[in-house]
């Protein structure tokens, strides 16, 4: 993701106060920290730069003292007090001592560190170098990785030239890089270490529709990993054959009967999962009629799967057993 694109994402997160910690991973000198600080200044937000490689756990959770016979923890000097908005930038996370990394686990998911609660209007951004080459960094374990939406920051020569011209950098330098673009920086490449988890899909849900469409794939990759992001993108674009959804079975079964019969096994089980999820809150008599017809017409294996899923849903079961042609099937399944 280019710097201008990353700036746009972080600006949206800050303005809408989205509780998703953002990880900026990029090569040395690419402008990670400068970009985050510039966003804070542009938005008029407070900015706290916390160099974790220089911290100890006590620097994060504060110092204990006794009050009314109980131990309480005083907030560290850097802890934000205002609720007007700000960016807490966790620098050098993968250079920090292990006990410091462990100390911020809670912070990047719950906006709380020990007994100290981060104001609602603050966001968290972390900046690190990748685990490649000669960087003296530590591997972050999967539990830490999944707490962030990762952005792989790449340098765009044109963007840098625009910035250099705007900041009145030496014109000879600007002209030299225009002619020798490969000498602006050493090219480094690496893969993000993100993987899909239930929590990462929840994180993606908070961001997906709030970022521009052209950035959604990279945001997806930063939350659930490349493989899952590719498959998700294809599904959303309609490049994968859609399956019949639960509400379609319950409300318009006759319209979808033929399509259901032509579905491959993986699509059929997706239909079944969707169906039972939508049945969890109960169904109407008309929907029960459609469900009963569906169960009688699909294969016995699929019907058993649905009934087993719904065996604890008394509302659905009571509506189904009123259908005479299903009573024997349900009784046999219950005794197996």
Query: What is the CATH classification number for the domain harbouring 81?
Result: 3.40.50.300
Q: Alpha-carbon distance 309 to 330, whole Å?
A: 12
Q: Which of 258, 242, 246, 241 is nearest to 306 (CA)?
A: 246
Same domain, 215 and 121: yes
Does the pLDDT value for residue 335 go beyond 70? no
Please report which confidence band the pLDDT of residue 327 belongs to, taking 50, 70 and 90 as the band edges. low
**Contacts for 321 with CB less than 8 Å, ≥ 6 apart:** 327, 330
Tell whether 48 is covered by a domain: yes
- Do 84 and 228 lie in one domain? The reply is yes
What residues have CB less than 8 Å from 83, skipping those under 6 apart? 119, 120, 121
pTM of the full structure: 0.85
The neighbour count for residue 258, using CB atoms within 10 Å, is: 8
Residues 265 and 231 in one domain: no
Look at the chain and report how many structural domains it folds into: 2
The predicted structure's pLDDT at residue 326:
60
Longest dimension (CA), the chain: 88
For residue 132, what are its two tokens?
Answer: 């490649």
Q: Are residues 145 and 32 in the same domain?
A: yes
Which of 22, 94, 111 has its CA nearest to residue 52?
94
Q: Verify that 135 and 203 share a domain, yes or no.
A: yes
Lookup result for tokens 């000198």: 29
Q: Which domain holds residue 325?
A: 246-335
* 75-119 pLDDT per residue, tens: 888 888 877 899 999 999 999 999 999 989 989 999 998 888 999
Q: Is residue 167 part of a domain?
A: no
Based on the fold, state whether residues 207 and 73 are members of the same structural domain: yes
**Maximum mean pLDDT: which of 24-28, 185-189, 321-325:** 24-28
Tell me the average pLDDT across 304-324: 73
């Amino acid at each position: 993701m280019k710097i201008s694109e990353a700036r746009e994402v972080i600006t949206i997160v800050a303005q809408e106060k989205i509780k998703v910690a953002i990880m900026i991973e990029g090569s040395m000198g690419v402008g990670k920290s400068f970009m985050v600080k510039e966003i804070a200044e542009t938005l008029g937000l407070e900015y706290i730069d916390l160099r974790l490689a220089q911290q100890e756990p006590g620097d994060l959770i504060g110092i204990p003292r006794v009050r009314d016979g109980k131990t309480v923890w005083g907030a560290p000097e850097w802890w934000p007090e205002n609720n007007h908005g700000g960016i807490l930038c966790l620098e050098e996370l993968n250079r920090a001592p292990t006990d410091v990394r462990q100390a911020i686990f809670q912070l990047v998911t719950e906006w709380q560190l020990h007994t100290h609660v981060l104001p609602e209007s603050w966001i968290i951004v972390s900046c690190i170098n990748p685990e490649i080459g000669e960087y003296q960094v530590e591997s972050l374990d999967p539990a830490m990785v999944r707490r962030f939406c990762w952005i792989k920051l790449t340098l765009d020569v044109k963007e840098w030239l625009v910035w250099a011209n705007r900041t009145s950098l030496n014109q000879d330098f600007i002209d030299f890089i225009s002619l020798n673009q490969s000498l602006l920086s050493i090219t480094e490449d690496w893969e993000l270490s993100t993987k899909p988890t239930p929590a990462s899909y929840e994180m993606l849900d908070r961001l997906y529709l709030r970022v521009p469409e052209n950035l959604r794939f990279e945001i997806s990759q930063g939350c659930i990993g490349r493989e899952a992001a590719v498959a998700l993108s294809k599904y959303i674009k309609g490049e994968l054959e859609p399956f019949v959804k639960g509400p379609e079975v319950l409300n318009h079964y006759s319209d979808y009967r033929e399509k259901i019969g032509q579905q491959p096994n993986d699509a059929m089980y997706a239909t079944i999962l969707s169906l039972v999820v939508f049945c969890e809150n109960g169904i109407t008599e008309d929907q029960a009629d459609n469900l009963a017809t569906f169960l009688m017409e699909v294969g016995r294996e699929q019907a058993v799967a649905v009934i087993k899923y719904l065996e604890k849903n008394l509302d659905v079961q009571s509506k189904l057993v009123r259908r005479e042609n299903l009573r024997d099937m349900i009784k046999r399944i219950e005794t197996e």
